[in-house]
Every structure is written in C-alpha cells, then in structure tokens.
Structure 1
Amino acid sequence: MYRNLSTSLRSQTGSALVVAIFIITVMAMMAAAMIKINASQAVTTTQEILGTRAWFAAHSGIEISLNKLFPIGDPNQMLACEAVAAEIPLLDFKGCRVTVECAEFSGNSTETTRRIQLRSTGRCGSGQYQVARQQQVWVKGLAQ
C-alpha cells in the first residue's frame, strides 16, 4: 500500500507544473490588460487638460480682442477689425497659441449699427497630443 501511494505522487508532479504555468499565464494577461487601461487613461487625462487649456486660451483671445475693439474711456467708440491682432501672445499659457479672426458686417445704408464677428482658436500641445478649441462671439456697435 505504501508503494502505491509513492507511485501515485510521482504521477501527479507534472500536473502541478501545468497548473502553475496556467496561473502565471492568466496573471500575465491580466497585468497586460491593466497596463493598457492605465496608458489609455493617461492619454485621456492629457487630452482633457490640453482641451481645457485650449478653451481658456481661446476665451482669452476673445477677451483681449474685445478690449481692443472697445477701448476703455469711450463706451460708444468701436474700432475696426484692424485693431485686432491675428495672433495674440499669451504669457500664462506656455505651449499654447491663439489666433483670432475678425470679420465686419454692415447692414444697409439706413442702419446705424455695425456687427463684428470674432472667432478665436486656441491650440495647445504638440504632435499627437495637440488639441484645439474655438470660440465665437458677435458684437454690435454704433456706426461711425
């Protein structure tokens, strides 16, 4: 009886090795999946941060352009699109660029208002991780 037990144990030593290899393979696949999920989340977070920065950069472009169109001191004065720079340097947004487009629309000859459309585009990041956000505003002022 003792001899059968010894033979039975010898025949099972290979099965423990197969089970160990199976467990190691499953754990390696789970680790690879977790690494892929982590990398995907890092890219998503980077794009969200750059998107938010680009949105605020575009908003700053609109604010700066409005400040140039409507100078402080005379509430009735509205300058022409030439006062707005095409590219606006931003000191607080490193790695971001802002471009502003200005278009003026005038009504018929009896109309006394001018309409200006400002479109600001903020771009942040570089290469694969470049994000752009755009904002648009219409302003109306008295004709001069």
Structure 2
Amino acid sequence: MYLKQRRAAKVKRQQGNMIIMAVFIVVVMSLLATNLIRIKWSNQDTLTRENLGTQAWFLANSASEWALTRLYPIGGDGSLSELATNCTAINNNTTAGVDLADELPCNEPIISCTAPEATLPDDLKYYRITTQAVCSSGSIFQVQREQEVWLKAVGE
C-alpha cells in the first residue's frame, strides 16, 4: 500500500513538469516558425527589388541605345555640327516614345544629351547621354537606374 501511494505521489509531481515542458516547446516552436516566416518574407522583398532593378537597368540601357541611334543616324557624317543638332533634338524629345502601359511596372525613361562647352578645342569635345529609368511595385518599392554614355565626333 505504501509503495502505491509513493508511486502516485511521484506521478503527481511529474504532471506539473510535463505542463511546463509542453508550454516551453510550444513557445520555442512558435518563435522558430515566426523567424522562418520573416526570412521567407525578406527573401521575397530581395527578389522583388532585384527584379525591378534589372528591369530598370535594361530600360535605361535601351533608352541609351535609342539616343545613340538618334545621335548617329544611318548615313550621317558624325561631324560636330550634326552631333550638336541631333543632341538638341534629343533634348527636345526627352523620352524614347515607348508605350509601357501594361508591359513593365516602370515609368518612361528620361533621356538627356549634354553638349560640350564651345570654348573647348574640337579634339576634346565629348557629348554625354544620360538615361534614367524608374520602376516600382505599387507604393512599396521604387528602384532607379541611371546610365551615362560619353561619345565623340568622328567625322572631322
């Protein structure tokens, strides 16, 4: 009889320990789950930013190429006077005229052409084309990429 009472008392004392262990395990597992969800969310943010950055970079690159085709048209002589005229035309039409309505989450690229100072000698006159593209995913992320191209007259 005494042995049975002693076992029953031992089991009763261990029941309290099991509750504490169960609560501890639930708390630890919930913290691990919370951290895993946070890591997954962070990875999605990084992937979204990387994707938007790549789209903005390619858009800025395409705008630079568009400006170069306008600055050096087929059949042009590449002289300083022609470059100056074409550079002014690019500045008057600062966007490439590409309709990005539903294809990309980006604004139209901004293009500018900078002519060299008139006081420089002809062999030091370089033109600069700057393109800027901004892509965004709603109001959460906004990524901007800018590219610069330097060029020189070849016909003189």
TM-score interval, normalised by the smaller of the two chains = 0.7 to 0.9
The Cα offsets for residues 48-80 of structure 1, whole Å up to 9 and x where unpaired, read as 111111111110110000011111123435343
Structure 1 match to 2:131: 120
Structural mapping, 1:67-78, within 5 Å: 67-76=69-78, 78=83
Q: In structure 1, what is the Cα distance between the partners aligned to 2:116 and 2:38?
A: 51
Q: Aligned with 1:116: secondary structure?
A: strand
Note the residue ranges of structure 1 that are not aligned, 5 or more in a row: none
Measure the CA separation in 1 of the matches of 2:119 and 2:48.
Answer: 48
1:137 paired to 2:139 = no
Deviation at 1:139, TM superposition (A): 1.2
- How many residues are treated as equivalent by the alignment? 144
**Corresponding residue number in structure 2 for 1:90:** 98
Q: CA deviation at 1:108?
A: 4.1
- TM-score normalised over the length of structure 1: 0.87
Work out whether 1:100 is the aligned partner of 2:108.
no
**In the aligned structure 1, how far is the partner of 2:121 from the partner of 2:29?**
78
Question: What is the CA–CA distance in structure 2 between the aligned matches of 1:107 and 1:53, rounded to whole Å?
Answer: 37
Residues 49-58 or 87-96, more deviating? 87-96
Mapped partners of 2:13, 2:121: distance in 1: 103
Percent identity, please.
Answer: 28
What code does the residue aligned with 2:105 have?
G
**Matched residues in 1 for 2:150 and 2:110: separation?**
16
Report which stretch shifted further, 29-38 or 87-96.
Answer: 87-96
Task: State the 4+ residue runs in structure 1 displaced beyond 3 angstroms.
Answer: 75-79, 89-93, 106-110
Residue 81 in structure 1 maps to residue 87 in structure 2 = yes
* Residue in structure 2 matching 1:11, options 10, 13, 36: 13
Unpaired segments ≥5 residues, structure 2: none
